[in-house]
Chain A
Amino acid sequence: MIADILVLACLSIGILFNTLGIVGLLRFPDVYTRMHATTKMTTFGSMFTALAVIIFGGAQFISTGDSQYVTLSTHTIIAALALAFTNAVGSHAIARGAHRSGLKPAPAVVDRLEEWAP
């Protein structure tokens, strides 16, 4: 019963953060600020949906004793870790590529990278 409530709470938090991330993607003015919304919030939201699955697998294993649910939880942990690392590196790569392609941060109070210019 407690596990059900925890699963529902984690799912709701995950969906909420994913939704806010998409709202940020549609609302923010330039590519760098959009990246802030998507990278951080969709990663965090997806981690929470994965956490819901992990809790569900653990609770089912305790109540039924079926080892299939342990497999479910371990695979989900690996998927969540892969997601976190690939998302951070991927967004870094897109930001670097965007700045090299000549796209400046449109509303910006300061741009030190522009002055450096390798």
Chain B
Amino acid sequence: MIPFLLTFLLALLLYLLLTAGSGNLLLWSPQELVAGVVLSLLAAAVAKNFLCRSHNFRMANPLRLILIPLYLLGPFLLEVTLANLDVAYRVITGKIRPGIIRVQSGLKTDLGIFMLANSITLTPGTITVDIDEESHDLYVHNINVPAGWEAETGVIDRELFSLADIPAWIRRIAE
């Protein structure tokens, strides 16, 4: 029941956001509201087992949801800008030293791994290639392996990021 309700609310919110300003009942026209409720019920009936697969409702807490935009606009934006300047420098000069390294994350939930893998892909000259499903370690392709890392078997995730402590933020949000 709870997965159904959460999926319904999420779909309805997205629909209302997309059709805002269509009429005079608050912001929406009555037809849009009825269509939104019917379509969200349908979507929730079909997709309830996909959204809440682990039956773990920690993310429904509004406080955690407020943290996500803060994280995206603060440390994440900073790291993305820095990473883009770094890759721009490497495109122009052609100085690369690629390699695949193993990164120990220590995260336990699926959502945490998902957010860390996406943050790694978009930030510091690195792309997540594969994930060890049991130990939740990441295999990361690094465009410029720092000297000495090719001998290490596992790098701690904190060392990948130069400015902000991204893994600590993800732990705060997802665990």
Give me the interface of A with B, judged by CB distance under 8 Å. Answer: 17, 20-21, 23-24, 27-30, 32-33, 35-37, 39-41, 43-44, 67-68, 70-71, 74-75, 78, 84-85, 88-89, 91-92, 95-96, 99, 105, 107-114, 116
A116 near B139: Cβ-Cβ < 8 Å = yes
* Cα of A35 to Cα of B81 in the assembled complex, Å: 17
* Cα of A107 to Cα of B145 in the assembled complex, Å: 12
Tell me which residues across on chain B come within 8 A of A68, comparing CB atoms: 21
Q: A39-B127, A91-B127 are in contact. Are A113 and B122 (CB under 8 A)?
A: no
A109 near B97: Cβ-Cβ < 8 Å = yes
Closest 4 CB pairs of A and B: A110-B150, A110-B99, A24-B91, A112-B102
B100 near A110: Cβ-Cβ < 8 Å = yes
Tell me which residues across on chain B come within 8 A of A92, comparing CB atoms: 117-118, 121, 127-129
Whether a CB of chain A sits under 8 angstroms from the CB of B10 is: no
Which residue on chain A has the smallest CB distance to residue B125? A36
Q: A95-B141, A111-B99 are in contact. Are A78 and B17 (CB under 8 A)?
A: yes
Partner of A95, one of B80, B88, B96, B128: B128
Partner of B91, one of A27, A32, A84, A96: A27
* Cα of A89 to Cα of B117 in the assembled complex, Å: 9
Q: A88-B122, A92-B117, A95-B128 are in contact. Are A24 and B87 (CB under 8 A)?
A: yes
Whether a CB of chain A sits under 8 angstroms from the CB of B62 is: no
A96 near B87: Cβ-Cβ < 8 Å = no
A112 near B117: Cβ-Cβ < 8 Å = no
B145 near A110: Cβ-Cβ < 8 Å = yes
Majority-rule SS of A interface residues: helix
Interface size class of B (residues with CB under 8 A): 35 or more
Whether a CB of chain A sits under 8 angstroms from the CB of B101 is: yes
Whether a CB of chain A sits under 8 angstroms from the CB of B132 is: yes
B99 near A105: Cβ-Cβ < 8 Å = yes
Contact with A along B96-140 (1 / 0, CB 8 A): 111111100000000000000110011001011110100000010
A71 near B20: Cβ-Cβ < 8 Å = yes
Tell me which residues across on chain A come within 8 A of B21, comparing CB atoms: 67-68, 70-71
Which residue on chain B has the smallest CB distance to residue A30? B98
Tell me which residues across on chain B come within 8 A of A41, comparing CB atoms: 84, 87-88, 91
B132 near A89: Cβ-Cβ < 8 Å = no
Partner of A32, one of B101, B141, B145: B141
Tell me which residues across on chain A come within 8 A of B130, comparing CB atoms: 95-96, 99, 113
